[in-house]
């Protein structure tokens, strides 16, 4: 039965033009996010009730409004600001929050699902503009949806992949890799265990892991587990591969800065594929019998490449990349070495190689699918 009630409203309509002028030049935003927000702005924003007739939630701090509660998406986004202020106070630096919220050079990035786009591109910016003198979002890189084996994830139906459960049976990096490589940056995607298996076996094991293992095994066998010494002048093929690795730092770094994580990990894996082709074409396992210098150059170049790739993969595969780094002769913390290819000196001792990844049996698909919904 309809009944009359009073509510507080956020006057979104008053900020329509200002928000549209702010969003229009944000061409670094994902097209789906920018176009959705601009579409709503061009239709005209409507004032939105920010209170609800419910018993749970944050009370309205006004006399006579005891039976109202604040709308969750009005108070929730304030948490970004209030949490920063609370952190500053707890750190005995009460003004430190201003570095994020008032410094014009600061960038705030809001990682969301696509259903939260209006709250972070329209409602929260209107609140910030209304308060005044606070930074607007630099980016709202909202992803599209991920389904699991054709169905929407559901905790009540247990149609989900729970991390503690997953980690009891599997390593973390294969899932990180699969989810990043198929990230729904532009369209909905369906996660399946068959695709997870394919990504692990065909890409992590066969391309990246195999490159590391066979290079380090050959070096241990033919060069006494030490970094071979390459000639002072490299062949065009070797120089080209190292040049490709070095160029990839700008490419992958640029993709990460632009929040194109899928493109970033694909670029790194593409370099690993090029390194495998280089190794196959130069065949150091055969060359070492007649041209040891050529084999030394090939393996030295491959090890330098692995060192660079370990760093390129580090943001995506943080559990296995330090191992690859150490296998290639890297010393200390991989992150402390910086975003660049480290130079491994000739004669550097190399540890005994062990596989970075495990090849998974096809039976995994049926086993994991059977867990869904149970």
Q: Tokens standing for 244?
A: 């490709």
Q: Tokens standing for 221?
A: 């066998």
Residue 363 DSSP class: H
Distance between CA 268 and CA 201 in Å, rounded?
17
Which spans in the chain are helix H? 16-23, 31-43, 72-90, 98-101, 117-118, 124-131, 163-169, 172-181, 193-198, 210-222, 236-257, 261-282, 284-287, 292-313, 321-327, 363-371
Distance between CA 23 and CA 136 in Å, rounded?
10
How much is the CA Rg of the chain, to the nearest whole Å?
27
> In this structure, what are the phi and psi dihedrals at residue 330, rounded to the nearest 5 degrees?
-65, 140
Is 162 in contact with 156 (CB distance < 8 Å)?
Answer: no
Strand, helix or coil at 240?
helix
> In this structure, what are the phi and psi dihedrals at residue 113, rounded to the nearest 5 degrees?
-90, 160
Distance between CA 124 and CA 112 in Å, rounded?
13
H or E element in which residue 191 lies: strand 189-191
The end-to-end CA distance of the chain, in Å, is 41
Q: Tokens standing for 223?
A: 């060069």
Instruction: Report which of 325, 315, 330, 331 is spatially closest to residue 356, judged by C-alpha positions.
Output: 325
Distance between CA 345 and CA 336 in Å, rounded?
18
Is 149 in contact with 372 (CB distance < 8 Å)?
Answer: yes
Q: Tokens standing for 20?
A: 């549209």
Is 294 in contact with 282 (CB distance < 8 Å)?
Answer: yes
Bridge partners (DSSP) listed for residue 48:
10
Tens digit of each residue's pLDDT, the chain (374 residues) = 788 999 999 999 999 999 999 999 999 999 999 999 999 999 999 999 999 999 999 999 999 999 999 999 999 999 999 999 999 999 999 999 999 999 999 999 999 999 999 999 999 999 999 999 999 999 999 999 999 999 999 999 999 999 999 999 999 999 999 999 999 999 999 999 999 999 999 999 999 999 999 999 999 999 999 999 999 899 999 999 999 999 999 999 999 999 999 999 999 999 999 999 999 999 999 999 999 999 999 999 999 999 999 999 999 999 999 999 999 999 999 999 999 999 999 999 999 999 999 999 999 999 999 999 88
- State whether the Cα torsion 174-178-180-181 is positive or negative: positive
Distance between CA 191 and CA 368 in Å, rounded?
12
Q: Residue 71: exposed, middle, or buried by beta-carbon count in 10 A (0-12, 13-18, 19+)?
A: buried
Chain-centre distance for alpha carbon 312: 13
Q: Which domains does the chain have, with CATH numbers?
A: 9-131 (2.170.220.10), 171-337 (1.10.730.10)
């Amino acid at each position: 039965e309809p009944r009359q009630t009073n509510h507080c409203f956020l006057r979104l309509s008053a900020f329509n033009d200002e928000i549209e002028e702010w969003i229009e030049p944000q061409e670094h935003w994902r097209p789906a996010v920018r176009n959705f927000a601009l579409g709503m702005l061009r239709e005209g924003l409507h004032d939105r009730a920010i209170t609800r007739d419910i018993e749970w939630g944050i009370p309205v701090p006004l006399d006579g409004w005891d039976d109202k509660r604040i709308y969750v998406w009005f108070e929730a986004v304030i948490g970004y600001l209030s949490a920063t202020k609370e952190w500053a106070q707890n750190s005995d630096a009460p003004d430190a929050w201003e570095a994020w919220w008032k410094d014009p050079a600061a960038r705030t990035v809001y990682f969301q699902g696509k259903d939260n786009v209006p709250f972070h591109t329209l409602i929260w910016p209107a609140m910030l503009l209304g308060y005044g003198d606070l930074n607007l979002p630099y980016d709202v890189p909202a992803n599209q949806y991920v389904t699991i084996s054709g169905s929407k994830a559901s905790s009540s139906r247990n149609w989900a992949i729970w991390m503690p459960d997953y980690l009891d049976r599997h390593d973390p990096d294969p899932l990180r890799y699969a989810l990043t490589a198929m990230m729904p940056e532009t369209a909905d995607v369906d996660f399946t265990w068959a695709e997870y298996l394919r990504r692990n076996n065909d890409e992590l094991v066969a391309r990246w892991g195999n490159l590391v293992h066979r290079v380090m095994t050959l070096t241990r066998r033919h060069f006494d587990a030490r970094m071979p010494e390459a000639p002072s002048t490299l062949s065009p093929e070797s120089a080209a591969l190292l040049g490709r690795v070095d160029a990839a730092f700008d490419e992958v770094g640029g993709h990460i800065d632009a929040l194109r994580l899928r493109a970033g990990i694909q670029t790194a894996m593409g370099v690993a594929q090029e390194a495998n082709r280089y190794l196959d074409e130069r065949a150091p396992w055969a060359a070492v019998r007649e041209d040891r210098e050529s084999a030394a150059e090939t393996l030295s170049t491959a090890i330098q490449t692995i060192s660079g790739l370990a760093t390129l993969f580090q943001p995506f595969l943080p559990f296995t990349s330090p191992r690859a780094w150490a296998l290639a002769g890297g010393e200390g913390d991989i992150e402390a070495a910086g975003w660049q290819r480290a130079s491994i000196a000739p004669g550097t001792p190399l540890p005994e190689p062990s596989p970075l990844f495990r090849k998974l049996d096809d039976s995994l698909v049926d086993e994991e699918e059977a867990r869904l919904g149970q």
